[in-house]
Structure 1
Amino acid sequence: MSRTGQAPEPGEDEHQKQVVTDAAFTALLEDSTEELYEQAPCGYLSTLMDGTIAKINNTLLEWLGLSRERTVGRMRFTDLLTVGGRLYHETHYAPLLRMKGEASGIALDIKTADGTRLPVLLTSRVKTSGTGEPMLIRTTVYDARDRRAYETELLRARKAAEEAQARAEADRGRLQEALATLQQSLLPSALPEVPGLETASYYHTASPDLLGGDFYDLFPLGGERWAFFLGDVCGKGPQAAAVTSLTRYTLRAAALHATDPVAALTTLNTVLHERYTGGDTRYCTAIFGVLEPAGESCAVQLASGGHPSALVRRADGRADYLPTPGGMLIGVLPQAQFTPARTVLHPGDTLLLYTDGLTEARTGPGRALYGEEALRTFAASLTDAGPRGMITALTGLLAGFGAGLDDDTALLALGIPAAPSHPVSDDLT
């Protein structure tokens, strides 16, 4: 409605808005340049080339708590700076102005009348005469208290984060040490000496932050017989470690009562199935075997439950798997089938047991599985194929996989040392 109470004519509202806009613009034009300078939202000052303050605006005077009479012509720019600021001015700020004629974004502290520090950002430019002679320095001063507070908080947060990271790394180091100790407790500290046989083992931990589930062992049964096993528990972490511990002690106990490999795995299957029936199913794969040395050879009986086949490398360089098809996972079903196998080791022969971390390693740009055939070819190519030589070679192979080896790997090699070769005598008598 208009002032007369009548409806406004078309376009009347737009006309009134334009009038208001024009009035504001007129008022802005009437705002003198001097007033804009004095009441600017930042500080302004001009100094002679020797640093004497020639002009300063009200904004900066209010920040400093100083009067114009006390500053103009009586103080130098460096009188406003802290001791550290003066040093920086002499060594960096002033030389930069002399060389380039300007400097921007310089962070310094200036002193107020009551002695407190005011963080500021300075931008200066040298004004020259028509002949290029420097006349004075114009400086813009920006209040940087909020920025300094933000930077201080950022530094505090960074320090807190670094301290937290250091604590986390220390905690992780202690955890890794504890896990490594626990992992070692699940493995034999050293393989026993078996008369007439050479043995070697190796365990690769994929992650120092997780307990692995691979395991192996070698122990006497009495007389001249020895038992061995190697396997892999599903999963990682404390739960897998608990299954590994139960598996090792169950197989050791079972071997004392029934040295038949199939019977030992059957006992383990019963124990795991009864222990983990309902909800949290746990299982493993394993090869269990018995060694019975006889003269220069050694009879081997073994059985497999869902585990990769053992590899036999003969003295003549042949390398073949000892087939154990049809062996079932251990602990899944109340009744499970396990596949037996037999072989005889002669001088120079080596039996290799391994977990699938080896054959399932990823290789090449396409990250293809390393596979059992590649392992067989590798074993056949070895010049030193005794247990120790084979484990040494396989350790280097695992290291070469790099990031392609993302699972724990256990290796156990058993064999009979090759017969020493007798050199031909040069004695012609």
Structure 2
Amino acid sequence: MDELIEEAPCGFLTLSRDGMIQSINRTLLKILQCPSPKQLIGKHINAALANSAQIFMQLYFFPLIKTKHRVEEMYISLHTESGEEIPVLLNASLQKNNEIVCVIVPMHNRNAFEDEILHAKKMAENAYRDKEKTLMELESALKSVEEKQQELLIANNQNAKYKLDTERELELAKKIQETALTKDIINDKIQIVSYYHASKALSGDIYGFYQVTPEKYGIILLDVMGHGISSALITMSLQSLFQKLISQGVRAENVMQELDQYLHELFQNNQDAWHYCTAIYFNIDTTTRTVEYINAGHPPAIIQNIDGEQQELLATSPPLGTFEDITFKSRTINYTQGTRLLLYTDGVSEAFEPNTLNYLLHDSLPSDISETKGIIQGALENTENKFEKYNHDDQCFILIEL
């Protein structure tokens, strides 16, 4: 027998017209647990069949093969040497030489499949009997789903309206906050310009600059911890306070003391809502050409003379609202004509590599103050696009030329 047929993944045997085994492959021998083909060749096919299959073969197989010359998917059982019954599918055809060629495929899992089919049939019958109950439960569930969908639709509409109303309110609040910011001051004694960008609708940065007398100017920049609505509410309340104090010509130490005390009183009974803020304040006297300043934990301001020499005005005290009973003391420096000051919040400095602001201010020395502002603003906006991780913070700077 051909080697491919010997090791085929199915049983193969040939029978004479009267059912005598003429050849059998090794695969079928393994199925039958028969060690040698000599034990079966020359014997009737019944030698390999279970009792029920023997009768089935005589009643159906041989009459069909003789009249139709072929049998397809006949389900019978083989009988192994150990007495085990192996269910198989039998396909056969009658050749011209009266030889019957048979292909046998084991069906080990068929009984399990039949059990599953019977189980599924039983379940289907039970389900059919309970159909009315099931339909009622389904109808109830469907009704419940429809009710929930309607509730969800109403909630979504309410949320959409709330979101729209909130956006309108925030836009209005943003306009109010921006309106509270002071306008640029340009005269023959001093020039003050500013840049302001909120990371969200509302900002935690706030500033103000005021001409207190014809010779004196008060300038303040604050950065409340965090950003968004909570920080913006605090900045607006601080803005109304420092505007009043600075406009009245209150001394620098007293301005910072009042702002610090206000924050402590605001959160004394609610530590969860506690906020602090950094601040830097300047009193500029254009007659005496002096700059008096207090830096409460704020990024250092940069002062640059007309020759490009720079100095950083570092913190002189902790941020406002951090510790009780802080004594604020101002420092005073003299300036010459053409001196520039750059104040900024950490949202600006953190967007650059260290000392970038110093370089930008120095390199723009020949430019007028509006051009210098444009140079810093352009670099900041380009850096924002490059380093998106900094876009979440509010950004503000003030540029002064004396």
TM-score, with structure 2 as normaliser: 0.55
1:260 aligned partner: 251
Gaps of 5+ in 1: 1-9, 25-159, 362-368, 417-429
1:283 aligns with 2:276: yes
Which of 329, 332, 349 lines up with 2:319 in the alignment? Answer: 329
Residue 213 of structure 1 contacts residue 244 of structure 1 at CA under 8 Å; is this kept in 2? yes
Q: Which amino acid counterpart does residue 399 of structure 1 have in structure 2? A: E
Identity %: 23
Contact 2:304 2:340 in 1 (8 A): yes
> Cα deviation per residue 1:130-168 (whole Å; 9 max; x = unaligned)?
xxxxxxxxxxxxxxxxxxxxxxxxxxxxxx9xx989979
- TM-aligned CA deviation for residue 252 of structure 1: 2.5
Match of 1:292 in 2: 285
Q: Residues 225 and 174 of structure 1: is their aligned pair in 2 closer, same or farther, counting only changes over 3 Å?
A: same
Distance 2:339 2:321 in 1: 33
**Secondary structure of residue in 2 paired with 1:315:** coil
User: Closer, same or farther in 2 for the Cα pair 1:196/1:272, shift >3 Å?
Assistant: same
> Given the alignment of the two structures, is residue 359 of structure 1 paired with residue 342 of structure 2, yes or no?
no
Q: In structure 2, the residue corresponding to 1:335 is in which secondary structure?
A: coil
Tell me whether 1:202 sits opposite 2:186 in the alignment.
no
1:144 maps to what in 2? none
Is residue 313–residue 319 contact of structure 1 (8 Å, CA) maintained in 2?
Answer: yes
Change (3 A) 1:242 1:175: closer
* 1:302 equivalenced with 2:273 (yes/no): no
Q: Do the aligned residues in 1 keep the contact of 2:218 with 2:284 (CA within 8 Å)?
A: yes
Q: Which amino acid aligns with 1:180?
A: K
Q: Where does residue 126 of structure 1 map in the other structure?
A: none
Residue 348 of structure 1 deviates from its aligned partner by: 1.9
In structure 2, the CA distance between the partners of 1:271 and 1:197, relative to structure 1 (3 Å rule), is: same
Q: 1:166 to 1:299 in 2, by over 3 A?
A: same
Evaluate the alpha carbon distance shift between residue 350 and residue 172 of structure 1 in structure 2; reply closer, same or farther with a 3 A threshold: same
Counting only pairs closer than 5 Å after superposition, residues 138-157 of structure 1 correspond to structure 2 as: none
SS in 2 for 1:231: strand
Please report how far the alpha carbon of residue 225 of structure 1 lies from its aligned counterpart in structure 2 after TM superposition. Answer: 1.4
Residue 370 of structure 1 aligns with which residue?
353
Q: Give TM-score, length-normalised by structure 1.
A: 0.52
Q: How big is each residue's C-alpha offset from its partner over 1:99-147, in whole Å with a ceiling of 9 and x where there is no partner?
A: xxxxxxxxxxxxxxxxxxxxxxxxxxxxxxxxxxxxxxxxxxxxxxxxx
Structure number with higher helix proportion: 2
Match of 2:42 in 1: none
| Deviation per residue, 1:305-353 (Å, 9 max, x gap) | 111111112211223212x344111012221243523223322211111
Match of 2:361 among 365, 373, 379: 379
Secondary structure of 1:235's match?
coil
2:185–2:191 Cα contact (<8 Å) kept: no
Distance in 1 of aligned mates of 2:262 and 2:345: 22
CA contact (8 A) 2:199 2:393 kept: yes
Amino acid at match of 1:349: T
One-letter amino acid matched to 2:400: L
C-alpha distance in 2 between matches for 1:227 and 1:203: 19
Native 8 Å contact 2:299 2:315 kept in 1: no
> How many residue pairs get matched?
257
Name the amino acid aligned to 1:197.
I
Match of 2:393 in 1: 407
Amino acid at match of 1:327: S
Match of 2:175 in 1: 181
CA distance in 1, matches of 2:241, 2:320: 13
Q: Which residue is 2:11 aligned to? A: none
Kept after mapping to 2: 8 A contact 1:216/1:230: yes
Partner letter of residue 333 of structure 2?
A: T
Match of 1:69? none
Q: Hey, what's the Cα distance between the residues in 1 that align with 2:370 and 2:295?
A: 24
Q: Cα distance, 1:195 vs. partner?
A: 4.7
Cα deviation, residue 266, structure 1: 1.0
Coordinate RMSD, CA, aligned: 3.7
1: CA distance, partners of 2:184 / 2:112: 100
Q: CA deviation digits over 1:195-229, x for unaligned, max 9?
A: 52111111022234xx1110111112234212111
Contact 1:232 1:285 in 2 (8 A): yes
The aligned counterpart of 2:3 is: none
Q: Distance in 2 between matches of 1:286 and 1:237?
A: 18
Aligned position for 1:350: 340
SS in 1 for 2:212: strand
**Residue aligned with 1:206, SS:** coil
Bigger Cα Rg: 2
Aligned residue type for 1:321: E
Aligned-partner SS, 1:262: helix
> Which whole-Å CA distance do the structure 1 matches of 2:113 and 2:173 have between them?
78
Q: Is the 8 A contact 2:348 2:395 kept in 1?
A: yes
5+ residue gaps, structure 2, are 1-82, 88-107, 118-152
Deviations 1:255-312, CA, capped at 9 Å, x for gaps: 3566321221011111111121132212211111111112xx7321111111111111
